[in-house]
Amino acid sequence: MPDSLSPDLSQATSLLHSVFGFGAFRPGQEEIVGAILRGENVLAVMPTGSGKSLCYQLPALVRGGVTLVVSPLIALMRDQVRALTAAGVAAGSLNSSNDPAETARVLGLLRRGDLRLLYVAPERLARPDTIEMLAESNVSMMAIDEAHCVSQWGHDFRKEYLELGSVARQIGGRLQTIAFTATADAPTRTDIVDKLFAQPPRVFVRSFDRPNLRLAFKPKERSSKQVLAFVRAHEGESGIVYCASRRKVEELAETLKEAGVRALPYHAGLDKAVRDRNQDTFQQEDGVVMTATVAFGMGIDKPDVRFVCHADLPANVEAYYQEIGRAGRDGLPADTLTLYGMGDMQLRRLQIEQGDLSDERKRIERQRLGALLSLAEAPRCRRQTLLAYFGESSEPCGNCDLCQEGVERFDGTIDAQKAMSAIVRTGERFGMEHLVSLLRGDRTENILKYEHERLPTFGVGADRKASEWRSIFRQLSALGLIAQDLMEHGRWWVTDEGWQVLKGKQRIELRKDLAPAAGARGERRGRPAASAVVDDGDLVLFDALKALRTRLAQQQGVPAYVVFSDRTLAELASHRPTSPRAFREIHGIGDAKLERYGAAFLEVVQKHAT
Ligand code: ADP
Ligand code: ZN
């Protein structure tokens, strides 16, 4: 029977509407739900924000019995349970942070056979008493979230995940298993299949395109100024600023605070209580900027993060994609900016080379870093370059800095020759800062020590700023004309291709964005993105609805989006429903929310009737 006619799938579709308040499936969801309902084991690879949770939540409701959801992230479990409960679904979690009353409630529901979704941390699940209890309950399937945690290739390996296959067998013989991950690369995917499934599952891979995310990179200059300009352009919106070190997290949080931004720090060195408090504030309130190391984010399920800024270069393309993916999960426009500098690149290379990794692993890491650098220096649409890395081909997106602002090019042959002759004349023994001083004719201590002020190259590049020369070095490196030896203090040398240019046998073009344009974008933006979806005439009502949402959320001690998403408020402000029936038609409003919030929100809409 085709999917469209299966009674289970049509029941799932009506639950999509009545419980979650969504008008339609997102791309990919329907096929996955269909396969799960037919009893297949499934691995779904989907980008963050594409709506994985619904893929197991709907079958769980259609099926009956209890669906186990394995997740390593306690904060995320808590949020999902809250959101499901608010939608009228019997859900609960078992984890170390529950109070006894909550655990009793969950076990009571389970015993009576009323529980539909049980979220459980892997270490809790592996306990013999948990397994015994679940073996006696009516468990219908096991959904494994963040399935890449089973792979040693990934950045989030957790050894408890290795037990999940055997746990599933102990609970239910051939318990149906469905696994989800947002990690796309091939070695990780193969590992997941090997370690979680006895037989190869049905694999779904969703497009990694997230068209609502604007992509942009800029060479790093004064990074705190650049970050501040970017954050200011997003006043009043929730966002994340990622930094490479704890110290920088603290410094940037201070800088932003001094500028009047509501910024909070987050890193592993902070007291756990402080960390948790900052995370809660970020989750629950509007317009907080989290300045964080990458320790922050994996458990963040906040749909209305409007921007992500990397103050330092991310670790690799995978990490970059995961981190920017935390913005715009609600599908509304979100903005990203990544700052990259030569120092960052050197540091990353060193971390790989000197790290305690196998040769095979180092090779993979080098590739991943190389892909990120190509993305930073991309000559064409960034999204095309990014998607190409994930094996997808696409058209220019029109929503990245390169599509919108273009890259101007110029004949860079002479500059390249100057830079390379500086390398050659100093015996291919020096790093970039020294070479830049030489080109610019700066009499630094080292220049004088080596008597480099006597070289013919001394000062030939005085017409360019140091930052411009750094960009030229970076581009020559991306073009493969020069290379760096990291084991020897990052000394540069000229490759065979480079010699072709140096000898004048070949000309080259360089990108013109040599001078950084901090904040250039910010000034052009009028309104913050959250209200980009709200017409001017609806803004007053939108703000009033937001105020009501904040009040209700505070009363109930839940994050604002658990009440309603930004998109729901935006639709309310523009459609202005006057009856419960019309209210129910709005995105994100199901039966439970109609009953709970209908009257209060309708009253606000009524007051603004024109
Ligand atoms: P993921 O786990 O893939 O990162 P989530 O499951 O958290 O993503 O979903 C991201 C957001 O998209 C959530 O706010 C969710 O409510 C919303 N969403 C999911 N499916 C749909 C749909 N079919 N229509 C509208 N919104 C959806
Ligand atoms: Zn583009």
Task: Decide whether any atom of ligand 1 lies within 6 Å of the 365 Cβ.
Answer: no
Confidence of residue 610 (pLDDT cuts 50, 70, 90): low
95 or 133, which is more confident: 133
Confidence of residue 509 (pLDDT cuts 50, 70, 90): confident
Question: Is pLDDT at 6 greater than 60 in this prediction?
Answer: yes
Choose among 511, 253, 514, 218: nearest CA to 339: 218
Q: Are residues 288 and 390 in the same domain?
A: yes
Between CA 230 and CA 335 the distance in angstroms is 9
For residue 52, the CA-to-ligand 1 centroid distance in Å is: 7
Q: Are residues 7 and 147 in the same domain?
A: yes
Q: Are residues 191 and 225 in the same domain?
A: no
For residue 183, the CA-to-ligand 1 centroid distance in Å is: 17
**Contact at 8 Å (CB) between 289 and 261?**
yes
Between CA 600 and CA 563 the distance in angstroms is 12
Averaged pLDDT score across all residues of the chain:
87
Give 215's DSSP letter: B
- How many other β-carbons are positioned within 10 Å of the β-carbon of residue 486? 15
Q: Are residues 316 and 398 in the same domain?
A: yes
Confidence of residue 432 (pLDDT cuts 50, 70, 90): confident
* Residue 45 structure tokens: 């690879």
In sequence order, the 6+-apart residues with CB closer than 8 A to the CB of 425 are: 455, 456, 457
**Contact at 8 Å (CB) between 66 and 90?**
no
pLDDT value for 489:
65
Q: What whole-number percentage of the chain has pLDDT above 70?
A: 93
Mean pLDDT for 58-80 is: 91
For residue 216, the CA-to-ligand 2 centroid distance in Å is: 9
In sequence order, the 6+-apart residues with CB closer than 8 A to the CB of 517 are: 218
Backbone phi, then psi, for 97, in 5-degree steps?
Answer: -95, 0
Mean pLDDT for 471-500 is: 80
Task: Decide whether any atom of ligand 1 lies within 6 Å of the 26 Cβ.
Answer: yes
* Residue 549 structure tokens: 């949402």
Task: Decide whether any atom of ligand 1 lies within 6 Å of the 17 Cβ.
Answer: no
400 or 205, which is more confident: 400
pLDDT value for 513:
65
At 20-34, the pLDDT tens digits run 999 889 888 999 999
For residue 141, the CA-to-ligand 1 centroid distance in Å is: 21
Is the torsion defined by CA of 392, 393, 399, 402 positive or negative?
positive
Boundary (domain end) residue, out of 477, 511, 545: 511
**Contact at 8 Å (CB) between 478 and 509?**
no
pLDDT value for 525:
36
Confidence of residue 523 (pLDDT cuts 50, 70, 90): very low
**Contact at 8 Å (CB) between 545 and 574?**
no
Between CA 493 and CA 369 the distance in angstroms is 20
Boundary (domain end) residue, out of 205, 233, 268: 205
Helix (H, G, I), strand (E, B) or coil at 6: coil
Task: Decide whether any atom of ligand 1 lies within 6 Å of the 49 Cβ.
Answer: yes
Boundary (domain end) residue, out of 151, 171, 205: 205
Q: What whole-number percentage of the chain has pLDDT above 90?
A: 54
CATH of the domain at 583: 1.10.150.80
Task: State the closest ligand 1 atom to the C-alpha of 303, by its place in the atom list counted from 1.
Answer: 14
Q: How many CA atoms lie within 13 A of 66 on its CB side?
A: 29
Q: Are residues 295 and 364 in the same domain?
A: yes
Worst-scoring range by mean pLDDT, 112-116, 349-353, 570-574?
349-353
Confidence of residue 437 (pLDDT cuts 50, 70, 90): very high
Residue-range definition of the domain harbouring residue 538 = 534-607
At 234-286, the pLDDT tens digits run 998 999 999 988 999 999 999 999 999 999 999 989 999 999 999 999 988 88
- How many other β-carbons are positioned within 10 Å of the β-carbon of residue 561? 26
Confidence of residue 305 (pLDDT cuts 50, 70, 90): very high
For 42, the enclosing helix (H) or strand (E) is strand 42-45
Mean pLDDT for 182-195 is: 81
Question: Is pLDDT at 215 greater than 60 in this prediction?
Answer: yes
pLDDT value for 522:
35
For residue 252, the CA-to-ligand 2 centroid distance in Å is: 29
For residue 399, the CA-to-ligand 2 centroid distance in Å is: 5
Between CA 73 and CA 301 the distance in angstroms is 10
Choose among 562, 608, 441: nearest CA to 81: 562
**Contact at 8 Å (CB) between 563 and 598?**
no
Q: Are residues 50 and 190 in the same domain?
A: yes
- How many other β-carbons are positioned within 10 Å of the β-carbon of residue 462? 11
CATH of the domain at 423: 1.10.10.10
For residue 208, the CA-to-ligand 2 centroid distance in Å is: 14
For residue 518, the CA-to-ligand 2 centroid distance in Å is: 20
For residue 155, is it within any domain? Answer: yes
Domain count along the chain = 4
Between CA 337 and CA 228 the distance in angstroms is 12
Give 26's DSSP letter: P
For residue 69, is it within any domain? Answer: yes
pLDDT value for 488:
63
Q: Are residues 302 and 423 in the same domain?
A: no
* Residue 122 structure tokens: 């892997």
Choose among 150, 133, 159: nearest CA to 68: 133
For residue 221, is it within any domain? Answer: yes
Q: Are residues 137 and 115 in the same domain?
A: yes
pLDDT value for 532:
54
Confidence of residue 298 (pLDDT cuts 50, 70, 90): low
Between CA 278 and CA 587 the distance in angstroms is 30
Q: Of the bound ligands, which one is closest to the alpha carbon of residue 209?
A: 2
Which pairing describes strands 202-205 and 42-45: parallel, antiparallel, or unpaired? parallel
Residue 516 Rama label (left phi>0; alpha psi -120 to 50; beta): beta
Task: State the closest ligand 1 atom to the C-alpha of 145, by its place in the atom list counted from 1.
Answer: 2
Kindly list the distances between the CA atom of residue 238 and the CA atoms of 80, 195, 285, 421, 446, in Å, as whole numbers in the listed order: 20, 38, 8, 48, 46
Task: State the closest ligand 1 atom to the C-alpha of 26, by its place in the atom list counted from 1.
Answer: 23
At 536-585, the pLDDT tens digits run 777 788 888 988 998 998 888 888 888 998 889 988 988 889 899 989 98
pTM (2 d.p.) = 0.64
Is the torsion defined by CA of 191, 197, 203, 206 positive or negative?
negative
Task: Decide whether any atom of ligand 1 lies within 6 Å of the 46 Cβ.
Answer: yes
* Residue 230 structure tokens: 């970017």
For residue 391, is it within any domain? Answer: yes
Question: Is pLDDT at 17 greater than 70 in this prediction?
Answer: yes
Between CA 22 and CA 431 the distance in angstroms is 56
DSSP code per residue over 497-560: HHHHHHTTS---EEESTTS--TTHHHHH--S-GGGGGS-GGGHHHHHHHHHHHHHHHHHHTS-H
pLDDT value for 521:
36
For residue 265, is it within any domain? Answer: yes
* Residue 46 structure tokens: 């989907």
For residue 529, is it within any domain? Answer: no
For residue 367, is it within any domain? Answer: yes
Between CA 278 and CA 376 the distance in angstroms is 31
Choose among 536, 532, 549, 537: nearest CA to 608: 537
pLDDT value for 312:
93
Task: Decide whether any atom of ligand 1 lies within 6 Å of the 531 Cβ.
Answer: no
For residue 528, is it within any domain? Answer: no
Worst-scoring range by mean pLDDT, 191-195, 395-399, 429-433, 509-513?
509-513
Choose among 431, 379, 374, 432: nearest CA to 401: 379
Q: Are residues 494 and 355 in the same domain?
A: no
Q: Which residues are found with C-beta within 5 Å of the ion, ligand 2?
A: 381, 383, 397, 400, 403
Is the torsion defined by CA of 437, 441, 446, 452 positive or negative?
positive
pLDDT value for 531:
45
Backbone phi, then psi, for 522, in 5-degree steps?
Answer: -55, -40
Task: Decide whether any atom of ligand 1 lies within 6 Å of the 22 Cβ.
Answer: yes
Mean pLDDT for 312-337 is: 91
Q: Are residues 191 and 290 in the same domain?
A: no
**Contact at 8 Å (CB) between 465 and 515?**
yes
Pocket probe for ligand 1: among 14, 31, 50, 324, the residue whose CB has the most ligand atoms within 8 Å is 50
CATH of the domain at 65: 3.40.50.300
Between CA 569 and CA 304 the distance in angstroms is 12
Q: Are residues 316 and 335 in the same domain?
A: yes
Confidence of residue 3 (pLDDT cuts 50, 70, 90): very low
Kindly list the distances between the CA atom of residue 72 and the CA atoms of 35, 76, 376, 535, in Å, as whole numbers in the listed order: 25, 9, 32, 40
Q: Are residues 560 and 504 in the same domain?
A: no
